Amino acid sequence: MQFQQLLYFVAVAETRHFTRAAERVHVAQPSLSQQIKALERELGAELFSRARGNITLTDAGETLLPLARRILADADTARLEVQELAQLRRGRVRLGVTPSICTGMLPDVLRAFHDAHPGIELLIEESGSLDLVRELARGALDLALIALPLPPSAPALTTVELLTEDLVVVSSADRPAPGGGGELTIRGLRDEPMVMFRHGYDLRELTVAACRAEGFEPVFTVEGGEMDAVLGFARAGLGIAVVPAMVVDRAGPGLRVTPLAGSPLRRTIALAHRTDVAPPRAARELQRRRPADTAARYERVVEAVRTPGRGLEVGMNRAQPPAGA
């Protein structure tokens, strides 16, 4: 089995067309077809069904596709690792991150890393934790900042815990404070219309599970957004939202922040990579950078949120108690 054959196979699998696949990999179509046939002979199974020009994967092809993608991704990582110059003057980091972490933690970390290594290309993929775990498994990412715990079906990943953060309730500063301005518990969310993240978003799963543990289903006025959209919906008064305390510092004006009392919701943020593949050198350098400043700022925000005079209002890049609080 040759590397080129796997490259051609993946191209056909993704384009479902031999001519377009040949153009994609810059080879003549007859040569590509011959290599695919040679690969099928070696494996002893047809990889494509070619009925009337409709190209589909056979069962054997479906089995080979994720393995071939992983081999190609690992080979690409190895090539980049070998080509890196001394002092990290060149390279690439493919980093996956959830939208909430991208809003709260990532900008400061990337700024410090870019200042130290301006020649490193940073490729950011923003998605939910479950999607990022799948991307790590197939070799499409070097590192990912994800929320723990991992699902039972997750592949073998090495994780380093960075921060455990509280979730808080945000609402429009122009509307009455949720819960009447007093302490708000998870059970108190029963009486509050909510704006909610899309399905597959770890914050959605965590919030819904907490509500169900208290014996009720949350009521959504709007659902399906990412972090910026959900914050905007809450700011507009469409409902409350449960978000990480970390995003409060960058959320902009117009939001009131209320902590959850009793049994607060928390999540743990970790940096993850595949256990069986060492990250590239540039990724290892980024991995060594701990978000100490971000963690310290997070602690200041949490302390401010928990102080007497709840109904904290958020200003751009800072948290301030409202006048008279």
Residue 35 reports pLDDT greater than 90: yes
pLDDT at position 261: 84
CA distance 15 to 72: 17
Kindly provide the b/e burial profile for residues 197-231, where b requires at least 16 CB atoms within 10 angstroms of the residue's own CB.
Answer: beeebbbbbbbbebbeeeeeebeeebbebbbeebb
Residue 241 reports pLDDT greater than 90: yes
- Output the average pLDDT for the chain: 82
Count helices and strands in the chain by DSSP H and E runs:
12, 13
Question: Helix 59-83 and helix 3-15: axis angle, to 10°?
Answer: 120
Residue 195: DSSP 8-state: E
Q: Is the pTM of this model over 0.85?
A: no
Share of the chain above pLDDT 90, in %: 39
pLDDT class of 325 with cuts at 50, 70, 90: very low
pLDDT class of 88 with cuts at 50, 70, 90: low
Tens-place pLDDT, residues 156-205: 888 888 888 889 999 999 988 887 776 789 999 998 999 999 887 888 98
pLDDT class of 319 with cuts at 50, 70, 90: very low
